[in-house]
Amino acid sequence: FAVNFQTGSNNRDIAFHFNPRFDEGGYIVCNTRQDGIWGPEERKMTMPFQKGSPFELCFLVQSSDFKVSRTLVAPPLPV
């Protein structure tokens, strides 16, 4: 999956691109796009997500940067 914070009505300008990738052992790509051109990728080489496990993401948008945090969601208790 990917999350994009666009700065207009089309996808030529993306202020923040967040893309967890499960291939090659798992990593996260963060990037920007200006006038249709991608900037240099920033890769986080740890994967905090597991396929099939629920989680919550929180994005804090500030004037100078973006901050991302995640919370693992506990499975429901049996009734």
**Is the pLDDT assigned to residue 74 strictly greater than 70?**
no
| Contact indicator for 71, 55 with CB cutoff of 8 Å | yes
Encode pLDDT of 19-45 as tens digits: 999 888 899 999 999 999 999 999 999
- Give the CATH number of domain 3-72: 2.60.120.200
* Domain residue ranges of the chain, discontinuous segments joined by +: 3-72
Q: How many CA atoms lie within 13 A of 52 on its CB side?
A: 0
The model's pTM: 0.81
